[in-house]
Amino acid sequence: MEHTVRKAASGDIEGLKSFLGRTEVELQGLENWMDFCLVAEDTHSGELMGTIGIQPYADAGLLRALVLKNGSAEDILYLLQQAIRLAKEQKLGMLYCVVNNKNARNLFLLLGFKEINVEDLPMDVRESSTVKTAEAVNNSKIMYYSINNVDN
């Protein structure tokens, strides 16, 4: 896929809601983390092809809404790398994610994420609906990444 990844703008909100509305991604509060959201668009048509968001919590973020339409493993990896860069730009110190399958876990390990126990999460992240839902799902793992690992 030839695509352009950019930071989402306020004009993207309706398109993102429509795009994400076809998934199981929780949309509540999306407007509150638009500054922490990236969109991938087809270079030729401008069609929305994917997105990834970071729900901010003080000096940490929780990866949310990683959705790609017809994306390859390389596309997913690139979008994740861009999200890590965005987290650094936004001066977040730690990035968390919830994974529920072995392939996703391996991908995040490849990027330098490590597993963490729920009890070790900051309270605001631990109390998020995303983490609460993950606790009820078998095989869900919480992972973290120290943004200090990112070069400028």
Ranges of each domain in the chain:
3-149
- pLDDT at 33 exceeding the cut of 90: no
Q: What is the mean pLDDT of residues 37-46?
A: 92
Q: What is the CATH number of domain 3-149?
A: 3.40.630.30
pLDDT confidence band for 152 (50 / 70 / 90): low
Torsion sign over Cα 16, 21, 24, 44: negative
- pLDDT at 143 exceeding the cut of 90: yes
User: What pTM, to 2 d.p., does this model score?
Assistant: 0.88
Nearest to 3 by CA among 71, 98, 87, 80: 71
pLDDT confidence band for 150 (50 / 70 / 90): low
**pLDDT tens, residue by residue, 63-105:** 988 888 887 888 888 999 999 999 999 999 999 999 988 988 9
CA gap 149, 142 in Å, rounded: 19
- pLDDT at 151 exceeding the cut of 80: no
Compute the C-alpha angle 100/139/105, nearest 5°: 45
Half-sphere exposure at residue 141, Cβ-oriented, CA atoms within 13 angstroms? 17
pLDDT confidence band for 17 (50 / 70 / 90): confident
Identity (one letter) of the amino acid at 62? L
User: Tokens 């993102």, residue?
Assistant: 16
**Euclidean distance between the first and the last CA atom of the chain, given in angstroms as a whole number:** 27
